[in-house]
Structure 1
Amino acid sequence: MSYLRIAVQKSGRLNEDSMRILKDIGISIDNGKDQLKAAARDFPVEVFYLRNGDIPQYLRDGVVDAAIIGENVLIEKGSDLDFVERLGFSKCRVSIAVPKDSKANSLKDLEGKRIATSYPETVKQFLKKQNIDAQLHIINGSVEIAPNIGLADGICDIVSSGSTLFKNGLKEIEVLLKSEAVLAVSPQIDEERKQILEKIQFRIQSVLKARNSKYVLLNAPNNKLDKILDLLPGMRSPTVLPLAEEGWSSVHTVISKNDFWEMIDELKANGAEGILVCPIEKMVL
C-alpha cells in the first residue's frame, strides 16, 4: 500500500499549526524528539519534518508528495509549484521596512538604496514591476538588524504582528504580498497518492468550514419568527422546532464567525431570546 508523503516545517509556529490541523482531521502522528520522519497510526500518511526553505525542492524532486508550507516560501522558491488549498493559518505579510527616523516613507524613496532580505526573488520581481532600482543584500536570518549596523537602508522580511519591527526601531512602508499556509503538491505525485491527498483535502475543508462558523440556537416568539428567519443564514435553511411554551419556537442555524456579532445584535433587536452559541468541530457539506 502506498503512503502519502507530506512535508511540514521542522519547528516553529507553522509546525504547530500544521500538526494541529492533521490531528483535527483524524491523522495521529507518532513522532519523537528530533525525528525527521514519522508514520500516522490510522491513515496512509508519512510526515517529513524539513526546513521550510528546503521543502519546494523536495516537492519538485518528488521526494515528498505534498507539503504544508507558507505561501511566501512557495512564491520565493517554488513559483513553478501548485497548491490545492489555502489553510487559513500562519498568516503573515512580506513587507519593506525602514528605520523610524528614515526620510523614506514610500517605495519610491528607496530608489538607488540598499535593501537587506531573505526573499531576493520576491523583492527583485516586485521592484521590477514597480520600476524601482535598488541594491539587494541577501541575509539568512536576523534581517532586522541590517539598518542598525549600516548594512542596508531598509529591509524586506515577513511580518506577523509587527512587534519585531517595533523592537528594532523599524517602520513598515510597503506590503509586497500577504501570505498564509497552503497545501502544496508535487508535480510528480502519482494517481494512488493523489487519491489519498484528495481525502485529506476533503477533511481539511470540513475542519476549516467549522473553524469559520458557529452553531446558534435561540428562542423566538412566533409573531416575530418570519423577521428572525429572514435574518438568518443556514447550510440550507434554519431548523425551527416548537417549544413546550405556546407561541414560541426554537431556531437552530449556522452563522459565519465573521458576521457573528452583527447578527447577534440584529437577532436580539428583533425579539430573539436565550441565544446559545456552540463551536463546531467538523462541517461536512
Structure 2
Amino acid sequence: MNATEIKAMAQAIMARHSESFGARLHHDANSVELTPQPMPAAQRQDPAYLAALQACSALGFIAVDAETLAQAWQRQSERSGQFDATHWPDDSRDFGLSGADPALAYASCPRALGLYGVLPTAEWVGRMARAGVPTVQLRFKSDDQAAVLREVKAAVAAVQGTGALLFINDHWQAALDAGAYGIHVGQEDLDVIGHHDLETIRRSGTRFGVSTHGYAEMVRAHAVQPSYIALGAVFPTTLKKMATAPQGLSRLAAYVRLMQQYPLVAIGGISADLFPAVRATGVGSVAVVRALVNAPDPEATAQQLMERMQATA
C-alpha cells in the first residue's frame, strides 16, 4: 500500500472522529483547546498503524498517546480482518489490557466511590468526612517528614466513625504505618516507589489508586492493576501544572469505555454544573478540590454535590 492510500485512510479517520476528538476548541462550560501534535517516528510500517499515527497526531494526541492508539488500531484491524476508520479503538485486547493475573491485583474498592474530596489538611479531611463525603484524600505537601507523619495520623483519626474512605496522596509508607484505607499516587511516583515497595503495598491489602492523563498512562497503570484509576485533567485546572492538555468530555468517555474493568474517578476543573455531563460518561466518582475548599459553606456545598452525584447516577 502506497503513501497516498495510507493518507486516505488517515483522512477517513479524521473525517469520522474530528467532531469528537479533533484538535479544536471544545465549546463546553470550561473550554478545552486541543491542537495538532507532531507525528512521532513510526515504529512499524503496517498501513493501519501508519494511518492512525498520522490521524491521531493531527487530532491532537501527544506522541505517546498517538503511538498507543496507532498500535491499538493495527491490532483491531488484524483481529477483525479489516481496517475500519469508523470504529475508534475501545477493546481492551487491542491495548494489551487483557490476561492480567487477578492474584497480582491490589485490593478492590467500591466501583462507585462517589464524591471524592481532595483536601489539603487533616482538618479538612475531618470536616468533609463528617459532612458525609464518602471518599476523601489527604494531599498534604511538605518536605518535613515529621509533619507528614503527624498529618497522616491525624487524617486517619479524623475519619474514624464517619464511614469515609481515606486515601493518602504520595506518602505511602506513612499511610501504611497509620492504617489508612488507601494510597493514591501519580505516574511519576510509580518510578520512584519501585517494584519491591509496590509489592509491599499490595501485600498489605491497602487500596491503591493511580492518576492517568491519557492512553499511554492508562496502559501503564493497568500493568500494576491498581484498585482504581483516576482520569484527568478533564478540564483546565490551576492547582497543578499538567504535562498534558485538559482532556475534555469526548476523550473522557472513550477512556471510560476502554477502562471499565476498573473503578474510575474523573478529576480536574469539574465544577458543580459539569457534574451531569461528566457522570454521563460512566465514571463512578467525581473528584473535586476547589469546589469544596474555596466554597463559602463547604459543608452545604458537599451536600449539594453529593445530591448531584445521586441525581446523575
TM-score normalised to the size of structure 2?
Answer: 0.22
Q: Kindly name which structure, 1 or 2, has the bigger radius of gyration based on alpha carbons.
A: 1
Return the structure number with greater strand share. 1
Return the structure number with greater helix share. 2
TM-score normalised to the size of structure 1?
Answer: 0.24
Structure scoring higher RCO (CA < 8 A, sep ≥ 6) equals: 1
